[in-house]
Amino acid sequence: GESVGLHLPTLSVQEGDNSIINCAYSNSASDYFIWYKQESGKGPQFIIDIRSNMDKRQGQRVTVLLNKTVKHLSLQIAATQPGDSAVYFCAEKGNYGGSQGNLIFGKGTKLSVKP
Amino acid sequence: DVKVTQSSRYLVKRTGEKVFLECVQDMDHENMFWYRQDPGLGLRLIYFSYDVKMKEKGDIPEGYSVSREKKERFSLILESASTNQTSMYLCASSWTGLNEKLFFGSGTQLSVL
In angstroms, what separates the C-alpha of A16 from chain B's closest C-alpha?
Answer: 28
Q: Count CA within 13 A, CB hemisphere, residue A114.
A: 4
Neighbours of A106 (CB within 10 A): 24
Tallying the residues shown for chain B, one arrives at: 113
Contact A104, A16 (CB under 8 A): no
The per-residue pLDDT for B86 is: 97
Residue B76 has pLDDT above 70, yes or no: yes
B77 burial class (0-12, 13-18, 19+ CB within 10 angstroms)? middle
Q: Which of residues A84 and A2 earns the better pLDDT score?
A: A84
Residues of A in contact with B104 (CB under 8 A): 36, 43-45
CA dist A3 and A104 (Å) reads: 8
Inter-chain residue contact A107 with B104, CB threshold 8 Å = no
Mean pLDDT of chain B: 93
Contact A22, A8 (CB under 8 A): yes
